[in-house]
């Protein structure tokens, strides 16, 4: 919150410095949540161990989630820097990457539906 208020106060007089403060705040938040990844990864490992052959789908879903978070983070940084056009392109690239990552799951689902029909 402090970084957001500081960036907001400086945005009018020094927009480049305000963008750097916002980026610094984002990086600090990221490093604050990194220790929580261990518990989440352990939970995911337990789920994949119990799924057997369905573990590949969990991997695909995790890739999609990672792509979505990375694209949102990148687009947010671009938007904070005043580059809304670039932010939109980052979001579009994320959506295309998600589509590409989900393609094998969609194809498997379509094959299953066609075998029933």
**pLDDT of 99:** 95
Range of 7-11, 13-17, 75-79, 87-91 with top mean pLDDT:
87-91
Query: What is the pLDDT averaged over residues 2-23?
Result: 79
Quote the mean pLDDT of the chain.
85
Domain ranges of the chain: 2-116
Section 1-27 average pLDDT: 79
Neighbours of 80 (CB within 10 A): 21
- C-alpha span between 115 and 91 (Å, rounded): 35
Q: Return all residues near 47 (Cβ < 8 A) that are at least 6 apart.
A: 58
In this predicted model, what pLDDT tens digit does every residue of 33-80 receive, in sequence order? 888 878 888 888 888 788 776 777 888 888 999 999 999 989 988 887
Q: What is the pLDDT of residue 48?
A: 79
Q: Is the pLDDT of residue 98 over 90?
A: yes
Phi first, then psi: give them for residue 81, nearest 5 degrees.
-80, 0
Q: Model-level pTM?
A: 0.66
């Amino acid at each position: 919150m402090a970084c957001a208020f500081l960036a907001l106060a400086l945005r009018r007089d020094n927009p480049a410095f305000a963008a750097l403060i916002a980026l610094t705040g984002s990086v600090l938040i990221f490093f604050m949540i990194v220790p929580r990844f261990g518990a989440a990864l352990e939970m995911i490992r337990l789920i994949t161990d119990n799924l057997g052959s369905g573990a590949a789908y969990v991997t695909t879903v995790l890739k999609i989630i990672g792509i979505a978070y990375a694209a949102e983070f990148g687009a947010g940084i671009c938007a904070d820097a005043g580059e809304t056009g670039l932010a939109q392109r980052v979001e579009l690239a994320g959506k295309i990457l998600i589509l590409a990552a989900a393609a094998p799951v969609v194809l498997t689902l379509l094959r299953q539906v066609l075998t029933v029909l």
